[in-house]
Amino acid sequence: MSPIPDLHTHSTASDGTLTPTELVARAGAAGVRVLALTDHDNTDGLAEAEYAAAQHSLILIPGVEISVTWNTLTVHVVGLRLDPANTELQTGLARLMEFRAWRAEEIGRRLAKHGIDDAYAGARALAKGRLVGRTHFARLLVNQRRAADTNAVFRHFLTRGKPGHVPGDWASLEEALGWIRGAGGEAVIAHPARYGLTRTRMQRLLGEFRELGGVGVEVVTGSHSRDEAFTFARHAREQRLRASAGSDYHGPENPWLELGRLPPLPEGCAPVWRDWPESEPRMACG
Ligand code: AMP
Ligand code: MN
Ligand code: MN
Ligand code: MN
């Protein structure tokens, strides 16, 4: 039984490989009691996840992971407990999804110039008609044996300076916080160690984020080492932000990262879920 909630997961509504129903069933079987579905830049999986959660007596937290451009850097902001019916939120997300649709075709064109034909069609087929993200291109190129694993595809084809790279044109930090808060949600900076920021620039990001009404930092995530969890627990305390925990689960193809295995928050963290009424009975505070 996972004593802490999992507040960051993906389904086929973005670049996860499990449908919302499959994701919720797997989380329930793994002992997760409180689960947030946080697909990239859309909330299309939430209704199905909510229905499935009721079957598995699991509390589903409606969420989203918004792509943000902050000083030319792409940063992810997770929104939790938001109302997906909010118009401003959906208008904002629709703009990002439009950019994603164009970017996917552009990635395809750039890879074609590099001698990799039909990548857009291939990625689109893997995405089964939903959002086509870089992860789908990565899976395609692994299937075509152009790289050993998805991480290698990112390094050789999809990141800055590489043939399939298309610069992001995402939401501003202010817009993302505005959409999340306007929809009644709480904003959390996702997987902060992934941005490669110096301590000073991280403090600047977290400071601006808090000024804009952000509430938390993902201290425990699938991509953080234990040391990184301690580092960001300290950042959170210094910036008077709360601590969140989420696996960033994308599916069973990544066996090193399973649902229901999150370690506890480091001592002294104030969990983002501390005052959440609906999740009180079964949730221990870290
Ligand atoms: P996108 O939002 O479409 O630009 O793609 C970002 C997603 O790609 C992230 O949410 C991860 O799921 C995945 N990703 C990013 N970097 C890597 C990497 N180095 N290896 C594998 N997957 C990655
Ligand atoms: Mn992803
Ligand atoms: Mn992310
Ligand atoms: Mn994610």
**Centre of ligand 2 from the C-alpha of residue 134, in Å:** 8
Residue 285's pLDDT is 39
Q: Determine phi and psi for 127, rounding to 5 degrees.
A: -80, -10
Q: How far apart are CA 41 and CA 219, in angstroms?
A: 22
Q: Which helix (H) or strand (E) holds 63?
A: strand 59-70
Mutate to test the pocket of ligand 1, among 134, 248, 254 (most ligand atoms within 8 A of CB): 134
What domains are there in the chain, each with its CATH number? Answer: 20-85+186-283 (3.20.20.140)
Q: How far apart are CA 217 and CA 266, in angstroms?
A: 13
What ligand 1 atom has the least distance to the C-alpha of 250? 12
**Centre of ligand 1 from the C-alpha of residue 158, in Å:** 9
Radius of gyration of the chain (CA): 18
Measuring CA to CA, which residue among 183, 216, 192, 248 is closest to residue 6?
248
Whole-structure pTM value: 0.96
Over the chain (286 residues), the average pLDDT of each successive run of 10 is 84 97 98 97 98 96 98 97 98 98 98 97 92 97 96 97 96 98 98 97 98 98 96 98 98 90 96 82 41
Q: Is 222 in the pocket of ligand 1 (CB under 6 A)?
A: no
